Amino acid sequence: MSNPWIAIGALAVVAVAIPISMMAVSSLLRPSVPEQGKRATYESGEVPTGSSQQIKFNIQYYMVALLFVIFDIETVLIFPWTVIYRDAVAAVGMTKVLLPMVVFIGVLVVGLGWAWRNGAVQWVRSPRATKGADTYE
């Protein structure tokens, strides 16, 4: 059995080579006709105002990303447990294997409940959106 990562590395080379070769072919085929105003970013036909890279964005995108970090680490910790679970149950019995994980997930569920109560997983609508919904109802 040879090292499987050689083959994965080979696919990485191929996976990068395919898009790059497409770019190369395209650069040979495509025209370049620079014109006034062609390079403006698309803003529904209006003249674009300001840069989008200094724009203020909704903080809630940041909140869910923070939550994700916690739960992502949790899944990383769960994975080794799932792999050995069957053998471990056969070796030391079910309670000893399952109970720690129930406690671990329990702690996380309490954390999720806390985030839930504090509205971190609830999208707060702007007053304008809420008002609009009232008028249409």
Partner 1 sequence: MQSAPLPETLANLLGFDPNSTPVMIVMSLIGAALIGTLMMTNTALAGPWAKRKITAAFTDRIAVNRIGPFGLFIIVADAVRLLSKELIVPEGVDRPAWDLAPLVIASTALLGFAVIPMGNGIQLADPEVGLAYVFATASMASVGLVMAGYASNNKYSFLGGLRAVAQNVAYEIPLILTGASVVIFAGSLQMSEIVAAQQQSLIGPLPSWYAFVNPFAFVLFLIANLAEVGRNPFDIPEAPTEIVAGYQTEYSSVYFVLVYLGEFIHIFLGGAIIATIFLGGPAGPVLPGIVWFMIKIWGVFLFTQWARSAVPRVRIDQLIEIGWKGMLVLSLANLLLTAVIVGVIA
Cα separation, 107 vs 126, in Å, equals: 32
Choice from 92, 103, 107, 109 touching partner 1 (CB under 8 A):
109
Report residue 109 CA to chain centroid gap.
Answer: 20
Residue 114 contacts partner 1 per CB under 8 A: no
DSSP code at position 88: H
Residue 36 contacts partner 1 per CB under 8 A: no
Choice from 45, 47, 57, 136 touching partner 1 (CB under 8 A):
57
Q: Which is nearer to partner 1, 65 or 127 (CB)?
A: 65
- Distances 30 to 35, 36, 53, 102 between C-alpha atoms, Å: 16, 19, 29, 59
Residue 47 contacts partner 1 per CB under 8 A: no
Report residue 3 CA to chain centroid gap.
Answer: 31
Residue 56 contacts partner 1 per CB under 8 A: no
Residue 13 contacts partner 1 per CB under 8 A: yes
Residue 83 contacts partner 1 per CB under 8 A: yes
Residue 61 contacts partner 1 per CB under 8 A: yes
Residue 110 contacts partner 1 per CB under 8 A: no
Task: For residue 82, report the phi and psi dihedrals to the nearest 5 degrees.
Answer: -65, -35
Choice from 92, 103, 107, 121 touching partner 1 (CB under 8 A):
121
Residue 107 contacts partner 1 per CB under 8 A: no
- Distances 126 to 10, 52, 64, 129 between C-alpha atoms, Å: 50, 21, 17, 5
Give least dist CB 71 to partner 1, A: 5
* Euclidean distance between the first and the last CA atom of the chain, given in angstroms as a whole number: 67
